Every structure is written in C-alpha cells, then in structure tokens.
Amino acid sequence: MKTFRTTIILAIMTAFAMLNVSCQKEKPVPPRSMEQIKSEEGIPVEISTIMPSDFSKELSFFSTVSGIVETVEYTKVKDQILSIRAKVGDYVKEGQLLMEFPTNNPNLQYEQAKVAFDNAEKSYKRMKELLAAGEISQQVYDNTQAQYLVSKQNMESIEKLVKVKAPISGTMISIPVRVGDVMGDNQALFTIAQLNKMIAKVQATDRELVQIKKGMPVQAFWNGIEYRGVVSDIGMEMNSMTRSFPIEITIDNPKQTLKSGVTVDVKIKVKETDKAIIIDRKLLVDEAGKKYVYLEKDGIASKRQVQTGIASGTNIEIIDGLKPGDNLITCCTSFLEDGIKIKLNK
C-alpha cells in the first residue's frame, strides 16, 4: 500500500514538472520596440537616384483676344446709310471708300462747300499762271492760295462725314448696320482689325508678376488649336480694384484662324530647362524655415539641407544641395533621423 502511494505521488510530481516545462516553452516573447528595430534592422525605405530632367513652370490665365490693331468707326452725321461697299471678312486698304451718306443733308451744306471749293480752285490755278507770267504780285497769289487751302480743307472735312473711308488697312470683322438704316450720333458703323497677330491681356498677381519677363514664350489654346506668342508688355501699376497687374501678350496668327473676341487659354512659360534637379515637394522636411531631404549612403540616412527654386504642381526645383547620382530617400521620411540605420525595400 505504501509503495502504491509513493508511485502515485511520483506520477503527480512528474506531470506538474512536464506542465511547467510546457508553459515555459509557450510563454510569448515581448514585441520589440521601434528603437530596437531601428538599431537591429534599420528603417525600411525606398530610394531614387537623382538625375537631371526637363522642367517647366507655367502660369495659366484666360483672356479675350483682339487684333493687334483694331479700330471702330462711328457716325459723324445723323442720316440714312446710302451704300455699304464691303462685307465682313473683306480685306480693305486705308483710305478705301466703305460707306456713303446723303450729300443733301441741310446741316452739312455740302453743295455750298463744293461750289466754294471749285471756285477757289479755279482762282488759284489762274493766279498761279498769272504769277508765272509776272502779271500779279506775290501777295495777291498768296492770298488766293490761302483761300483755296481753306476751301479745300472745309470740303474735305464735310466729305469725311458723308463718305466714310477705311482709317487703316485690315479685315472687316464687324458691320452692325445695313443700307437704309438711319443713324444717330456716335453709333458704330464697322470695325477693322489687323489679324496677323493678336493681343491677349491678362491680370497677374504680385507673386506672378515677379516671375514674368518680357519675351517669355506663351502658348494659347482655342478650339483645339495651339498658337504661339510672347509676353510683349508688363504693366507696373497695380489695379486698385483687382489688386493685379496688366500683362499684354502678342500671339502669332498667320492664317488668321484665331478670331477677335474669342476666349483663349493662355500659358506663360516662366521657367524651362532640360538640366534641372526636380523632386516631389512632399519629400522636403521643413525645420525652422530651412528645408532638408534625406539621402541614403552606406545604409545610413543622411540629412542634407537644400535650396529650392520654382515649384510646379507637386514638383519643385532644387537649385543647391543635391547633385546627380545622389540616392534620395523617397518614403518613410517621418521616421528618419540623421545617421539612423536604414534598409532598402525589395
């Protein structure tokens, strides 16, 4: 009986011992801290080797365009239009007769002026012959010439009212009247434009203004067509209402497919280079107004200060601090410190 009890006790002690060993084997290992991972394995990162690339920065605007020269002719007499001698789309030359009004308007005294001019012209020609023959004095001739010139000027002034001529050479782009219309004071008769080049005017903020220079290349887009141009003038006075500065752009339009009055999408290229170092702006670390990036060197993160240039979208130009061949760390920068161990993600 005593032997049986001893056997049972030994069996129980053996079971407890085995259970204790099993529990010790299954005891979980405590997780490693971030500091342990950093020191033992390094922070997993990705890198990109710096290489120069093409880079351009554009400022975008919308603008209504007009011919490089445009002029609107207005009525100078209240009367009915007798004739229109051109149509929209016609090319006209400076001085070409385009519209006529009646000459019998009592307010103009056209016939009286014409008679006076004809008589003055005849007298002038006769006095010129007599002076050449030595039959009159120079003073008599000069008086006759002066009367003739006054009559001629008066006649030309009245003719301008009833015979409307093209003030410039160009294309007729608008004729808002018809034959028979009775016109009032200062009403538009027609618009002539020179369309081989177009003018676009945009408004730039003070931040945009410092980036824009005369001669900068411009792209203008309308109706699926691209047109090229340049910045031709920069205003130096801020508009007090819009708080912006006027910028004038000249656009080439050799085929005259770009029409006056349409709205174009204008892009001014303020920066363009094929040897720039460009990175994603999110990789910059800003500390006390200074900007840094992290580079990989021999498995270690190296913090380097950089100077930035022009930004475009998510990209920014680095003008100092990086060179071709540098290995830029492109992820996990929030976990990095200068000199910390890193490992490359595969």
- pLDDT band, residue 145 (cuts 50/70/90): very high
Q: What is the mean pLDDT of residues 299-320?
A: 89
**Is 98's pLDDT higher than 70?**
yes
Identify the residue with better confidence: 175 or 315.
175
pLDDT of residue 4: 47
Q: What is the mean pLDDT of residues 276-292?
A: 91
Other CB atoms within 10 A of residue 80 CB: 12
Q: What is the DSSP letter of 282?
A: G
**Is 118's pLDDT higher than 90?**
yes
**Is 20's pLDDT higher than 70?**
no
- pLDDT band, residue 230 (cuts 50/70/90): very high
**Is 226's pLDDT higher than 70?**
yes
In terms of phi and psi (left: phi > 0; alpha: psi -120 to 50; beta: otherwise), the region of 252 is beta
47 Cα distance to chain centroid: 36
Return mean pLDDT, the chain: 88
> Cα torsion at 329, 334, 337, 340 (round to 10°)?
-60
pLDDT of residue 344: 85
The whole-angstrom separation of Cα 275 and Cα 323 is 11
Condensed to tens digits (0 to 9), the pLDDT of residues 235-277 reads 999 999 999 999 999 999 999 999 999 999 999 988 777 788 9
**Is 40's pLDDT higher than 70?**
no
pLDDT of residue 270: 85
pLDDT of residue 43: 85
67 within 8 A of 258, measured Cβ to Cβ: no
pLDDT of residue 154: 94
Most confident of 23-27, 87-91, 278-282, 295-299: 87-91
* C-alpha distances out from residue 261 to 28, 195, 342, 344, Å: 78, 12, 60, 58
The whole-angstrom separation of Cα 159 and Cα 105 is 12
Other CB atoms within 10 A of residue 171 CB: 20
Other CB atoms within 10 A of residue 301 CB: 22
pLDDT of residue 31: 67
pLDDT of residue 99: 97
**Is 12's pLDDT higher than 80?**
no
pTM score, whole prediction = 0.66
239 within 8 A of 245, measured Cβ to Cβ: yes
345 CB-near residues (< 8 Å, 6+ apart): 44, 45, 46, 331
> Whose CA is closest to 168, among 196, 130, 128, 206?
196
Domains of the chain: 40-51+284-344 (2.40.420.20), 59-65+195-273 (2.40.30.170), 102-164 (1.10.287.470)
pLDDT of residue 272: 75
- pLDDT band, residue 302 (cuts 50/70/90): very high
